[in-house]
Structure 1
Amino acid sequence: MLLELSNATKIYQQRNGRTKQAVVALQDFNLKIAHQPAKIIAIAGESGSGKTTLANLILGFVQPTSGQVIYQGVQVSKISKKDQGVAEETEDISIANSKQMRDYRRNVQAIFQDPFGVYNPFYRIQHVFDLVIKNFGLSDNSDQARQLVESTLNAVGLRGRDVLRKYPHQLSGGQRQRIMMARAYLVRPKLIVADEPVSMIDASLRASILDVMLRLKEEAGISFLYITHDLSTAYQIGDQIYILYQGSVAEKGKVTKVIERPHHPY
């Protein structure tokens, strides 16, 4: 099993005047993602339903209050925030050395909602790829690196000569989102967590971004956790769907069955 969530629960303490109140963001969430076949699993729900909390748990940005997030049989817990990405020591079975953390970070990638705010405006787009190649040791020489970047850009419908020498502000929102997808695909991951990847893109460009996700699933064998509030796009590309409502799973199953014959009002 590539990734498993077992009764994953996240509770935040929210201050209410002088007191604190427990807010359940996600409760007893269970999910299994196999290595193959690749699938697109849609996580749908309204704002505040727990979708982004789920993404943050999987990516290790926050830790579960209870339950487990397990990567290839190893519990992902207390991931260090240090630059080198080494997990802190725990008494649990956990990702506890840089080699395991590097493997996790390489195989579980992310695409975020905002294609405008994730790039350093002072660096050209080439720098985005150079940094990833260096950090993960993806090439032995510059020619190999150039070929890797070009093939990766081609996979998302871009050409190097059109984007690599430009700064982020010189690209359209659709191009920047494709660059983000290419950056995730560059390391050839097994799972991409896509958190509302088309919500800030013009409607005319959304279909092309979704098509890239489908192509990477079918041709590269990459699974996606597609987080969205839009049931129509979930229906377009999803294999399975989980409907979240106030932190709990209201409905789940094959996307066609759940959306065409829903039991929950959402």
Structure 2
Amino acid sequence: MLRLENVTKRYGVGAFGGTTFTAVRDVSFEVPPGEVVSLIGESGSGKSTIGKMILRLIPISEGTITLDGTDIRTFARGRRKEYYRRVQGVFQDPFSCYNPVFKADRVLSMIKEEYFPRVPRSEWDERVESALRAVRLDPGAVLGRYPHQLSGGQLQRLLVARALLLDIRYLVADEITSMLDASTRIDVLNLLADLKARGLGVLFITHDLALGNYIAARTVVLRRGEVVEMGETEKVFANPRHPYARHLLASVPQLHARWNGEQDDAFTGCPVHEGDAAQDAAEETGRLAEVEPGHFVACAGAEGGCPVALRRAGTAAAVGR
């Protein structure tokens, strides 16, 4: 089990670091083996910071992250390889992970040099071919090629194959589909589902709710570094309890409900005030904002502001609590 308990991350800011900024505050959740957990939130919510702490790329300010009950900070320099044999990460921009001067499969040979120096070349080649086929890559199409000769999807899957060569147990997938086209994105998501079936635990970091719903058994929603919603994905999506989670879900474009310009009196997506109730609340408070016809204005209720309660008309409500 990969478990986070009351994890906090603070950064020193200012010219001399005299003040602090809390990027992650008191976060607790776990990633069981054989399960995909989505970590969802808007940009700047602390998702990638959590991923970096799990991967020991940045230190933890408070709290603990444990792997099978062992605090990962106890994996000192001499044991760091032991940790990275079990936990690996794949990041948002696959092109930034490769040196353009070298062939792309150098990331695989570096694993051999560092972790398996005594494995015979013939056996290693078999392992590489098996790992590539496991991520749906044709060895003949990717080996010996430079990064610019491969697509983003191929490079991303090559990084997953690199992790598989270590026989990892947990994968931190940080926005790994954000730079891919729609068809390739589905291929990568299906690959993560295959890894889950093999018993790997996957932390799927994303700002895209639709992708999280597609792949994850459980969902954790972050806002400003704090967990505001957590639970089984079906329950979180069907009945979100926190206003921010409801706002995120309401913001997902609906392909079956295209706006047609005939919804002048409709407030849509507000987690607190909807439809006529929003207009009534606005009239009671006396807070009406004039806007030009065809423009949108936000409802100012719910946790400091609801940016999705929109009305297309000459007058729109700015609803307060």
Partner of 2:9: 10
For residue 4 of structure 1, report the CA deviation from its aligned partner: 1.8
> Matches of residues 8-87 of structure 1 in structure 2 within 5 Å?
8-15=7-14, 20-34=18-32, 36=33, 38-77=34-73
Structure 1 pair 122/23, CA: closer, same or farther in 2 (3 Å)?
same
Contact 2:31 2:202 (C-alpha < 8 Å) held by counterparts:
no
Aligned length: 244
Say which SS state the counterpart of residue 85 (structure 2) adopts: helix
Letter in 2 for 1:30: S
Q: Which has the higher contact order (CA 8 A, sep 6+)?
A: 1
Structure 1 pair 64/97, CA: closer, same or farther in 2 (3 Å)?
closer
Partner of 1:250: 228
Partner of 1:151: 130
Letter in 2 for 1:51: K
For residue 18 of structure 1, report the CA deviation from its aligned partner: 8.2
Contact 1:139 1:145 (C-alpha < 8 Å) held by counterparts:
no
Partner of 1:81: none
Unaligned 5+ segments in structure 2 are 249-321
For residue 141 of structure 1, report the CA deviation from its aligned partner: 0.7
- For 1:40 and 1:50, the matched residues in 2 are separated by 19
> Matches of residues 154-193 of structure 1 in structure 2 within 5 Å?
154-193=133-172
Letter in 1 for 2:113: K
For residue 174 of structure 1, report the CA deviation from its aligned partner: 1.2
- For 2:163 and 2:117, the matched residues in 1 are separated by 13
For residue 97 of structure 1, report the CA deviation from its aligned partner: 5.1
Q: Deviations along 1:75-113, whole A, 9 cap, x unmatched?
A: 222xxxxxxxxxxxxxxxx22352x32120110000000
Which residue, out of 142, 146, 151, partners 2:121?
Answer: 142
Contact 2:35 2:202 (C-alpha < 8 Å) held by counterparts:
yes
Say which SS state the counterpart of residue 99 (structure 2) adopts: coil
- For 1:70 and 1:63, the matched residues in 2 are separated by 14
Q: Does 1:238 align with 2:234?
A: no
Contact 1:138 1:145 (C-alpha < 8 Å) held by counterparts:
no
Say which SS state the counterpart of residue 161 (structure 1) adopts: helix
- For 1:96 and 1:24, the matched residues in 2 are separated by 26
Which residue, out of 170, 175, 183, partners 1:204?
Answer: 183
Structure 1 pair 177/19, CA: closer, same or farther in 2 (3 Å)?
closer
When the two chains are superposed, the root-mean-square deviation of aligned CA atoms in Å is 1.6
Contact 1:138 1:187 (C-alpha < 8 Å) held by counterparts:
no
Q: Deviations along 1:102-132, whole A, 9 cap, x unmatched?
A: 1201100000000111101111123211111
Greater mean alpha carbon deviation, residues 120-129 or residues 235-244: 120-129
Partner of 1:195: 174
Q: Deviations along 1:21-49, whole A, 9 cap, x unmatched?
A: 32211111112333x4x100000000111
- For 1:138 and 1:200, the matched residues in 2 are separated by 34
Letter in 2 for 1:9: T
Greater mean alpha carbon deviation, residues 18-27 or residues 110-119: 18-27
Say which SS state the counterpart of residue 249 (structure 1) adopts: strand
Greater mean alpha carbon deviation, residues 253-262 or residues 136-145: 136-145
- For 1:33 and 1:19, the matched residues in 2 are separated by 34
- For 2:141 and 2:214, the matched residues in 1 are separated by 29
TM-score by length of 2: 0.73
Q: Does 1:122 align with 2:101?
A: yes
Partner of 2:207: 229
Structure with the greater alpha carbon radius of gyration:
2
Contact 1:238 1:255 (C-alpha < 8 Å) held by counterparts:
yes
Structure 1 pair 158/248, CA: closer, same or farther in 2 (3 Å)?
same
Partner of 2:238: 260
Contact 2:25 2:226 (C-alpha < 8 Å) held by counterparts:
yes
Say which SS state the counterpart of residue 146 (structure 1) adopts: helix
Structure 1 pair 23/110, CA: closer, same or farther in 2 (3 Å)?
same
